[in-house]
Structure formats: structure tokens, C-alpha cells
Amino acid sequence: ELKVEQNPLFLSMQEGKNYTIYCNYSTTSDRLYWYRQDPGKSLESLFVLLSNGAVKQEGRLMASLDTKARLSTLHITAAVHDLSATYFCAVEGTGGFKTIFGAGTRLFVKA
Amino acid sequence: EAGVAQSPRYKIIEKRQSVAFWCNPISGHATLYWYQQILGQGPKLLIQFQNNGVVDDSQLPKDRFSAERLKGVDSTLKIQPAKLEDSAVYLCASSQLQGMSSYEQYFGPGTRLTVT
């Protein structure tokens, strides 16, 4: 059974600092997604990672995937207040079925 | 391009009543998902359609929840009868299909259900 664990679940950081969110999953997967959710809003797609060693960057966020370790990271560089949100990783099972979401990391960036 | 549409946006019902949610996916998206998101948790997949066929409904409480996708486009999710623990946001998402796998999912605004 596919399980997805994120850590930390809560992160409070100062503006300008760097930090990494981790996403571990339990079985072979076709692809991994990162989403952002603002309070009271729906989910917004950030990254889709398709293969081992994949790295994608958008602004201050960079995501990577290690399929052998079954680990993805979301790295935040020089955080700004606008990045405050909940970040979810989601793992798609083989064959394109049953996407499982992690519990989310609630990020708060203090000015 | 228009996004995923959902209605209603909010619904308050009493326990044991029934409720239905509607979703219109992005045009051309073959795969449609219904998720339940309880406050403070990640979305939980309830059912996944590919065109108008069900490909996964293993986490759908079938004694009270039902869903259909007529003609492979719009979908409805129904709860009958509702329980207090069904209070959550119900998210609909859609994605394109490439081969056996789907692309990233695009989420609708959600329906916030409160059961009293």
C-alpha cells in the first residue's frame, strides 16, 4: 500500500532563510507532484517530477526526486512572506492510479 | 482556458440528510477525481474516473457515497445519508491522459460541506 509522509508538518522561518521540506513514499511510483494551498483556497500545482534525478525550479522553490530513495525534497531559498502556505506532495501509484497526498507542511514565513 | 467548476461552493445540512455536488472538468480532460479534505489534512482520493469508467474507488464509503460521470464529462458526487464526520471540503480535479498515466491535476475551488 502506497503511503506518503511529509516532514516537517509545521515550519516557522524567518525571511531570508533557507529550508527543505521532505517527502518520503513507500512503494514504486510513476510520478510525484508538489502543490501549494493558501488558507481557504484550492490547490495550485507547483511541480511535476517524472524521473529519477529530476530537478525543477520556479523562483525561490526547487524540487527534486530520488526514486531509489523514494524521496522528494522541496527547497526554499531566501524565504519571503508570500511563500507562507501549506505545501503538499502527492505520489501517483503505478499505472496512473490512486494519487496519495501527504499530510502537508504548513509554512509560515515571518517578516 | 476555463478551470474546473464546482457547485455549490458551500452547503450546510443536518445529519441523515442527503447532498449532491457537481463538477465540470476542464474541456478535454479524460481523468476526473473527487477528493475529501478534512480540515488540517491532505486531500484523500474518493474516486477516480477515466472518461466515464471508474478506475479507483477503493476509499469511497460505498454505503453512503456514490458518484457518476455521465458521458465522460460532468460528474456528481452524492452523500446519503450524511454523517457529522462527512464535514469537509470536497475537491474535484481533472487531468489530461497520456498513455497509461495522467498529467498534473487541476483543482476546482471545492465545496465546503458542514453537517450539523
pLDDT, tens digit, 9 for 90 and up, residues A25-76: 998 887 899 999 999 899 999 999 988 888 999 999 999 999 999 999 999 9
**Per-residue confidence (pLDDT) for residue A52, from 0 to 100:** 81
Q: How confident is the model at residue B25 (pLDDT cuts 50, 70, 90)?
A: very high
Chain A residues with CB-CB distance to B93 below 8 A: 43
Chain B residues with CB-CB distance to A31 below 8 A: 101
Chain B residues with CB-CB distance to A92 below 8 A: 101-102
Q: CA A6, A10, A11, A12: dihedral to nearest 10 degrees?
A: 170
Min CA distance, B48 vs chain A (Å)? Answer: 7
What whole-number distance in Å separates Cα of residue A46 and Cα of residue A109? Answer: 18
**A94: helix, strand or coil:** helix
Region label for A69, one of left (φ > 0), alpha (ψ between -120 and 50) or beta (otherwise):
alpha
Chain segment A10-33, per-residue pLDDT in tens: 999 999 999 999 999 998 887 899
Q: Indicate which of A5, A36, A42 best probes the interface with B, i.e. most B CBs within 10 Å of its own CB.
A: A42
Q: Does B41 touch chain A (CB under 8 A)?
A: yes
Cβ atoms B40, A40 nearer than 8 A: no
Average pLDDT of every residue of chain B: 92
pLDDT at B99 over 70: no
What whole-number distance in Å separates Cα of residue A99 and Cα of residue A6? Answer: 15
Nearest beta carbon to residue B43 from set A31, A44, A101: A101
Q: Does A42 sit within 8 Å of B104, measured CB to CB? A: no
**Per-residue confidence (pLDDT) for residue A86, from 0 to 100:** 97
**Per-residue confidence (pLDDT) for residue A1, from 0 to 100:** 81
Cβ atoms B12, B112 nearer than 8 A: no
Chain B residues with CB-CB distance to A42 below 8 A: 91, 107-110
Average confidence (pLDDT) over B16-30: 95
Chain B residues with CB-CB distance to A48 below 8 A: 103-104
What whole-number distance in Å separates Cα of residue A43 and Cα of residue B11? Answer: 20
**Per-residue confidence (pLDDT) for residue B1, from 0 to 100:** 64
Chain B, nearest residue to A46 by Cα: B104
Cβ atoms within 10 Å of B76's Cβ, excluding its own: 14
Average confidence (pLDDT) over A5-12: 96
**Per-residue confidence (pLDDT) for residue B64, from 0 to 100:** 97
Cβ atoms within 10 Å of B107's Cβ, excluding its own: 24
What whole-number distance in Å separates Cα of residue A90 and Cα of residue B17? Answer: 33
Q: Does A101 sit within 8 Å of B42, measured CB to CB? A: yes
Average confidence (pLDDT) over B36-43: 94
pLDDT at B101 over 70: no
